[in-house]
Amino acid sequence: MFGEVLTAMVTPFKEDLSVDYARAQELASYLINNGSDGVVVSGTTGESPTLSDDEKVNLYKVVKEVVGGKGSVIAGTGYNSTKESIDLTKKAESIGVDGCMLVTPYYNKPPQKGLYNHFKMVAESTSLPVILYNVPGRTARNLEADTVIALSEVPNIVGVKEASGNFEQIAKIKSKTPEDFFLYSGEDSATYPVLALGGCGVISVASHLVGKEIKKMVSCLKNGNYKESLKIHLRLLPLFDVLFLTTNPIMVKAGVKLKGIDVGGLRPPMIDADDEQISKLKKIMEKLEVL
């Protein structure tokens, strides 16, 4: 429905840290032309916690304008408030995006029944296809396999981005959800094992830099060329690791700038990569011939 490789796109900022919508269009076009089947706008990598609703809606609009029918545009519309998530999802739908992604409510740590109710209520408020996003390292709450399995019965909840690192949980989700329920890796370093467990692809950070290689890795595995897919995965692993040397999206923004697309700084409380971190990233990018 959305593609195999979706990029969790960074949000470009101007010098004054206002959103650079023109550069967002430039970046989205670049990604679609370099291995990405679609983009996720205003997710964690897009610094969603420090974007206003108006900024998010404008980003959905300008990215959809430039991507058009060349790729999918998924709107990050998750909040830890069900009402706010519903309101933003409705605005995203009015823009004409292709789907929405809902992160597990963070900080308030609802129980699994509360998570089920939250996602179901948001999904029922829209006709958009919904991807769940489980990233307990950031939200402090794991979306358990049984909850995902139950939510997969909601007609327009079509998949999950899994970033728990729990492969037993991931395998259970795959084994007990419908055949057409999309299981995306939410971590670049876990893409190969998630694909091996039946995943459909990855919602990637590293695809900002090596989108074509990641696309080839996914395609090789799906075509039965496991040896070549693993070879690509292992080759890219140092890049996957260095991009998470510190909190995402600090390193990937530095990497995109090294590639020649100036996406600006980060909004506080995030900070720019330091010289040592940039040096480590640059060495790996040079070794991979990414620069």
> Where in the sequence numbering do the catalytic residues fall?
133, 161
Q: Say how far apart CA 204 and CA 164 lie, in whole Å.
A: 14
Q: How many residues does the chain have?
A: 291
**Any idea of the CA torsion for 216, 218, 221, 226, to the nearest 10 degrees?**
60
Cβ contacts of residue 19 below 8 Å, gap of 6+? 11, 12, 13, 51, 55, 58, 59
Say if strands 201-204 and 182-185 run parallel, antiparallel, or are unpaired.
parallel
Give SS3 for 154: coil
Helix or strand (DSSP H, E) at 182: strand 182-185
**Contact (CB, 8 A) for 42 and 58:** no
Q: Would you call 127 exposed, middle or buried from its count of C-beta atoms within 10 A (0-12, 13-18, 19+)?
A: exposed
**Contact (CB, 8 A) for 97 and 64:** yes
